[in-house]
Amino acid sequence: MQGDRIDKIIDKYVNEEGVLIQLLLDIQHEFNWIPKEAVKRISERLKIPYSQIFRVASFYAALSLKPIGRHLIQVCLGTACHVRGGSKILDAVEDALEIKAGSTTGDRKFTLSGVNCLGCCAQGPMMMVDDDYYGGVRVTKVKKILEKYE
């Protein structure tokens, strides 16, 4: 069943050049990660070496070779956010979700990541959930932000 879904996505890219990253993003969007089976099927069907696909999928932070949650939480740990308490925000999220950065909750609802920069240095500390940015985050506001995604 999963193989049929993978093939349907690959079918959109057959005979096209330079599509690997977008194809991997589409696979990830469908499954919330890039399963090994998908890498194997892409290699077989598009005649791209398995090692090349794996190298691309493991290089880009936007791609994941392990299951991720429905909601991706990113806490900025860049210099501007760090000096404004970014690491305390990360600690608060870890405590609220009972996981460490780089992990996914058991119910696969959330994946937590500490990142180098979210590009909003003047608004730090920054936290991002999916496509939603939160600036000037305080430890006392973390649980309220997370409740929006329950």
Specify whether 113 is located in the same domain as 140: yes
pLDDT in the model for residue 62: 79
**Residue 125, domain member (yes or no):** yes
**Which pLDDT score, from 0 to 100, does residue 1 have?**
57
Indicate which CATH number applies to the domain containing 83: 3.40.30.10
Judgement on whether residues 49 and 101 belong to the same structural domain of the protein: no
Contact 90, 114 (CB under 8 A): yes
- How buried is residue 109: exposed, middle or buried, by Cβ count under 10 Å (0-12/13-18/19+)? middle
Structure-token pair, residue 36: 């090994």
Is residue 93 located within the same domain as residue 133? yes
Same domain, 7 and 53: yes
The string of pLDDT tens digits covering residues 16-64 is 888 999 999 999 989 989 999 999 999 999 999 999 999 999 998 778 9
Cα Rg, the chain, nearest whole Å = 18
pTM strictly above 0.85: no
Look at residues 39, 59, 79 and tell me which one is the last residue of a structural domain: 59
- List, for residues 57-103, the tens digit of each pLDDT value: 999 877 899 888 999 999 999 999 999 999 999 999 999 999 999 99
Q: 1 or 92: whose pLDDT is higher?
A: 92
For residues 127 and 89, the answer to whether their CB atoms sit within 8 Å is yes
Considering the domain architecture, whether residues 50 and 92 belong to the same structural domain is answered as: no
Domain count, the chain: 2
Task: Give SS3 for 58.
Answer: helix
Q: Based on the domain organization, do 53 and 77 belong to the same domain?
A: no
Query: Please, which residues bridge with residue 90 across strands?
Result: none
102-124 pLDDT, tens digit per residue, is 999 999 999 999 999 999 999 99
Domain that holds residue 15: 2-59
| CA dist., res. 120 & res. 26, Å (int) | 27
Predicted local distance difference test score (pLDDT) of residue 104: 93
Give CA–CA dist 135/118, Å, rounded. Answer: 10
